[in-house]
Amino acid sequence: MADKQLCMFIDLNKCIGCNACSVACKGENDIPEAAWNTWIDSFDYEEDTNIYRANIPMQCNHCKDAPCVPVCPTGASFFSEVGTVLVDTEACIGCGACVEACPYKVRWVNPDTNTVGKCTFCHERTTNGLLPACVSSCVTQARYFGYMDDESSDVSNLLAENNGGDILHKEFELETHVRYKGLEHLKDYYGKTSVLRGGNIKEISK
Partner 1 sequence: MENCNSFTRRSFVKTAGLGAILAGTALSATACQGEVKQENKTKSNKKISYKSNGKPIEAKINLDTQEVEINPDVYVRYSACLGCYASCGNRTKIDAKTNEILSVGGNPYNPNCALPKLKFEDSLTEAYLANSFANQKGNLLRGTVCARGNSTFNAYKDKKRILKPLKRAGKRGEGKWKTISWDQLIDEVVNGGKLFSDIGEDQVIEGFKDVYDTKTLIDENSPEYGPKSNQLVMLGMRGDGRSNYPYLFGAAFGSVNFYSHGSSCGVAASAPIFTENSMWNRLDVPETEYALWLGTFPGANGKSFQLIAKNVEKRLKDGIHMDVIDPVNVGGAVTSKEKNITWHPIKPSTNGALVLGMVRWIIDNKKYSEEYVTFPNYQAADEKGWGSYSNFTHLVICDENHPNNRKFLRTEDLGIEGVAPAEGEEVQNYVVLDAQTNEPVQFSKTKKAVLDFTGELKGSDGKPIKVRTAFSLVKESAQSHSVEEYEEICQCEKGLIEKLATEWTSHGPKVGLANVGGTGSANGISSAWAEYILGALVGNYQMIGGSVPTSWTYDAWMSPRYVLFDIPDAPENSAQIDISRGGLNWQDTSEYKKRLESGEENPQPKLPWYSYTRGADNQALISLINKYPYQGKIVMSWMCNALQACPGAMREEVYARLADPEVIPLHITCDCFMGEHATFSDYIVPDTTPYESFGVITQEGFWHGRGSSVRWPVSEPKTEKLPDGRHMGYEAFMNDVAKAIGMPFFGREDGLKSLDGKGHPHFSDADYYLKSIANLAYDEKPVDDITDEEIKAQGLDKLPEEWKKCVSEEEWPKVLKVLSRGGRFDETKDAIDGTRTVMRMEFKVNVYSELRALQRNSFTGEYASGCIDWEPELLADGTPLRDKFSESDYPYTSVQYKPKFRSISMLSNSPFMQTLAHSNYFEINSEDAQELGVKSGDSLIVSNPTGDKMEGQALVREGIARKVFAVPFGYGHIAYGAKGYEIDGQAIEGDEKISKGIHLATMLDPQVSKDGVIYPYSEYELGSPARSGGAFKIEKA
Please name every residue paired with 47 in a beta bridge, in sequence order, or none if there are none: 50
**Residue of 63, 69, 148, 159 interacting with partner 1 (CB under 8 A):** 69
**Residue of 5, 10, 62, 145 interacting with partner 1 (CB under 8 A):** 145
CA–CA gap between residue 206 and residue 204 (Å, rounded): 6
Which residues 6+ apart lie within 8 Å of 74 measured at CB?
Answer: 91, 92, 93
Beta carbon of residue 142, minimum distance to partner 1 (angstroms, whole number): 8
**Residue of 10, 56, 148, 178 interacting with partner 1 (CB under 8 A):** 56
Beta carbon of residue 168, minimum distance to partner 1 (angstroms, whole number): 7
Q: Which of residues 85-144 bind partner 1 (CB under 8 A)?
A: 86, 88-91, 93-97, 99-100, 102-111, 114, 117, 120, 122-126, 128-131, 133, 135-141, 144
Beta carbon of residue 85, minimum distance to partner 1 (angstroms, whole number): 10
Measure the N-to-C terminal CA separation of the chain; round to a whole number of Å: 39
Q: Please, is 19 exposed, middle or buried when counting C-beta atoms within 10 Å of its C-beta (0-12, 13-18, 19+)?
A: buried
